[in-house]
A = this chain, B = another copy of it.
Amino acid sequence: MMLEELKERVCAANLALVKHGLVVLTWGNASAIDRERGLVVIKPSGVSYDTMRPEDMVVVDLEGRVVEGRFRPSSDTPTHIVLYKAFPSVGGVVHTHSTCATAWAQAARSIPNLGTTHADVFHTDVPVTAEIPDARIRDAYEEATGDSIVEAFRRLGVSPEETPAALAVHHGPFTWGPAVEKAVENAVTLEAVAEMAERALALNPDARMNPAMTEKHYSRKHGPAAYYGQR
């Protein structure tokens, strides 16, 4: 059996999504990539979290072909692969239908950067994707979802490192990171800031953060001047 350690980490990441309250039933999926071998480890499709074990994870190549595994891979696998191909620094991807982030996706609104909880992790608003053309929805839809995320970041001039999250319109959040554990953390933060932003705008529709604070909080945790955490 190959990629045993990565399977354990991907399985643990999927279970962490349940523990953090981001996933119910069989919704959501986490994956990680082995960049050297060009292989992705991902959750099987529609399998219960109650009995999920590392050996149930599916290994696919970057064309989406199953290389190892008894199960079919997550139906969202093509979306993960597009993100791994387009964003070379990404080591792990997470997709959930967490309540508040999904509500923003259903509302077709980007999540505005209203506070330091957001700016600590996401440098910009968390972009919502543009509508996917009907022809692409009907054919290779999951790939088109990935393309719409990549397109949004290019159009807005945002890098996937500075803002490791997107909302697939009408669908829900995708997050990523250098490792799958970080992608899970970013999914937790995204749901929290989605709820905070909804509540803040209900209290004050004109709420906006001072741009100097955005820069300060983002740079406290990221880049050469970072001073948060242990180094």
Contacts and interface: CB of A to CB of B under 8 A. Distances in A.
B106 A197 contact: yes
Contacts of A197: 106
A60 to B, nearest CB: 15
B137 A210 contact: yes
Contacts of A107: 199-201, 203-204, 207
Interface residues of A, number: 62
Interface in A136-158: 137-138, 141
Contact of A99 (B185, B192, B201): B192
Contacts of A9: none
Contacts of A116: 97, 170-172
Contacts of A44: 230
Contacts of A138: 212, 216
A223 to B, nearest CB: 14
Interface in A81-124: 97, 99-100, 102-109, 114-117
A15 interface: no
Nearest to A203: B107
Interface string A186-218: 001100100111111111100101101100100
A14 to B, nearest CB: 16
Given A137-B216, A203-B107, A46 B228 contact: yes
Given A132-B213, A192-B24, A115 B109 contact: no
A5 interface: no
From A106, A109, A185, A192, residue with most partner B Cβ within 10 Å: A106
Q: Which 10 A-B pairs have the closest CB atoms?
A: A46-B229, A103-B199, A107-B204, A106-B200, A107-B203, A106-B115, A134-B212, A137-B212, A106-B114, A170-B209
Given A25-B185, A47-B230, A107-B201, 7 more contacts: A25-B189, A71-B230, A103-B200, A106-B114, A108-B207, A109-B203, A134-B210
